[in-house]
Structure 1
Amino acid sequence: MITTLERPPLSDRLRVYGSRVKDARVLEGLRAGSVAEALQIGATRYSRLEAAGTSSPVSREELAALSDVLHFDEDYFLSPTVTVVERTGLCFRAKKSMTRLQEDQIGAWARLCGELVHTVLAGSGDSIKMLLPQLDPRTSPQLAALTVRDAIGLTVDGPIAQLTRSLERAGVYIFSAEFAAEAAARHDAVSLWVGEAKQHPIVMVRASDSWERTRMSLAHEVGHLVLHRYSKPEDAEDAAFAFAGEFLMPSQQIEKEWPSHATLESLLPMKLKWGVSLSALIEQGHRLGLLTVERRRSLYKQLSARRQYPSGRTWREQEPGFDQREVEKPLLITRLIERAYAGNISIETLRRMISSWPARYVSPLIEGQFRPPAGHINSSENVTSIFARTG
Structure 2
Amino acid sequence: MERKFNGSRFGIARKRRLLNKRQLADALGVSEYTVLRYEAGKTAPAEEVLPILAKTLRFPVEFFFGCDLDEPLADNASFRSQAAMTAAIRDAALAAGSIGFLIADYVEARFDLPKVVVPDLSFYSPEAASRALREEWALGERPISNMIHLLESKGVRVFSLAENSLKVNAFSLWRAGKPYVFLNTMKSAESSRFDAAHELGHLVLHQDGTPKGREAEDEANRFASCFLMPEADVLAEMPHVYSLDHIVQSKARWKVSVAALNYRLRRLGVTSEWQNRNLCIQISQRRFNKEEPLPMPREMSVVWEKVLKSLWADRITRAEIARDLHLPASEVESLVFGVLGQSTPRPEARKLTAI
TM-score between both structures, scaled by the size of structure 1: 0.79
Q: In structure 1, what is the Cα distance between the partners aligned to 2:207 and 2:43?
A: 32
Conservation of the 8 A alpha-carbon contact between 1:176 and 1:330: no
* Residue 343 of structure 1: aligned partner: 314
Write the deviation string for residues 61-85 of structure 1: whole angstroms up to 9, x where unpaired: 4444432432321211111233331
Deviation at 1:212, TM superposition (A): 1.6
Q: Which of the numbers 248, 253, 268 marks the counterpart of 2:233?
A: 253
Structure 2 residue 281 is the aligned partner of structure 1 residue 301 = yes
The superposition leaves residues 176-213 of structure 1 with CA deviations (integer Å, 9 ceiling, x where unpaired) of 342x2xx445322222223xx2x222222222473321
Contact 1:220 1:243 in 2 (8 A): yes
Query: Is the Cα contact below 8 Å between 2:84 and 2:167 reproduced in 1?
Result: no
User: 2:323 aligns to what?
Assistant: 352
**Do the aligned residues in 1 keep the contact of 2:319 with 2:329 (CA within 8 Å)?**
yes
Structure 2 CA distance, aligned partners of 1:389 and 1:70? Answer: 23
Offset from partner CA, 1:134-181 (integer Å, 9 cap, x none): 22x3421112112222333422x1111222212211112222342x2x
**Residues 21, 77 of structure 1: 8 Å contact kept:** yes
Match of 1:363 among 310, 333, 337: 333
Which SS does the other structure have where 2:5 is aligned?
Answer: strand
Q: Is the 8 A contact 1:175 1:368 kept in 2?
A: no
Hey, which bits of structure 1, 4+ residues long, moved more than 6 A? none
Counterpart residue identity of residue 297, structure 2: E
Map 1:212-227 to 2 at 5 A: 212-227=190-205
Structure 1 residues 258 and 318, CA gap change in structure 2 (3 angstroms):
same
1:20 alignment partner in structure 2: 9
Instruction: Please say if residues 152 and 166 of structure 1, whose CA atoms lie closer than 8 Å, have aligned partners that are also in contact.
Output: no
| Residue of structure 2 equivalent to 1:168 | 152
Residues 237 and 51 (structure 1), Cα distance of their counterparts in 2 relative to 1, 3 Å cut: farther
Contact 2:93 2:161 in 1 (8 A): no
Residue 378 of structure 1 corresponds to: none
CA RMSD of aligned residues (A): 2.6
Distance in 2, matches of 1:359 and 1:390, equals 14
CA separation in 2, counterparts of 1:111 and 1:360? Answer: 15
Structure 1 residue 192 corresponds to structure 2 residue 173? yes
Q: Judging changes above 3 Å, is the alpha-carbon distance between structure 1 residues 288 and 29 closer, same or farther for their aligned structure 2 residues?
A: same
Deviates more, 1:333-342 or 1:32-41: 333-342
CA distance in 1, matches of 2:189, 2:328: 30
Listed as ranges, the gaps of 5+ residues in structure 1 are: 1-10, 307-313, 370-385
Distance in 2 (alpha carbons) for counterparts of 1:189 and 1:368: 17
Q: CA deviation at 1:130?
A: 1.1
> Which residue among 119, 128, 136 is the counterpart of 1:133?
119
Aligned to 1:321: 294
SS in 1 for 2:159: strand
Instruction: Count how many residue pairs are aligned between Structure 1 and Structure 2.
Output: 343
For residue 260 of structure 2, what is the aligned residue in structure 1? Answer: 280
**Partners of 1:243 and 1:40 in 2: CA distance:** 50
Instruction: State the identity %.
Output: 29
Any idea what SS the aligned residue of 2:282 has? helix
Aligned-partner SS, 1:204? strand
1:191 match: secondary structure: strand
Match of 2:128 in 1: 143
Could you say which residue in structure 2 is the equivalent of 1:92? 79
Please say if residues 177 and 207 of structure 1, whose CA atoms lie closer than 8 Å, have aligned partners that are also in contact: yes
DSSP-derived class of the 2:110 partner: helix
Gaps of 5+ in 2: 346-355
Which amino acid is the alignment partner of residue 273 of structure 2? V
Show CA shifts across 1:325-382 (max 9, x none). Answer: 322111312312433563321112101222x11112112234534xxxxxxxxxxxxx
Structure 2 counterpart of 1:158, which letter?
Answer: R
Q: Which residue of 1 aligns with 2:21?
A: 32
SS at match of 2:18: coil
How big is the shift at 1:88?
Answer: 1.3
Cα deviation per residue 1:72-125 (whole Å; 9 max; x = unaligned)? 21211111233331111222223623211111110111111111111111122x
Instruction: Give the Cα–Cα distance (whole angstroms) in 1 for the partners of residues 10 and 166 of structure 2.
Output: 21
1:80 pairs with 2:67: yes
Confirm or deny: 8 A CA contact 2:7 2:38 kept in the other structure: yes
What secondary structure, in the 3-state scheme, does the structure 2 residue paired with 1:259 have?
A: coil
Where 2:19 maps in the other structure, the secondary structure is coil
How has the CA–CA distance of structure 1 residues 128 and 281 changed in structure 2, closer, same or farther, with 3 Å as cutoff? Answer: same
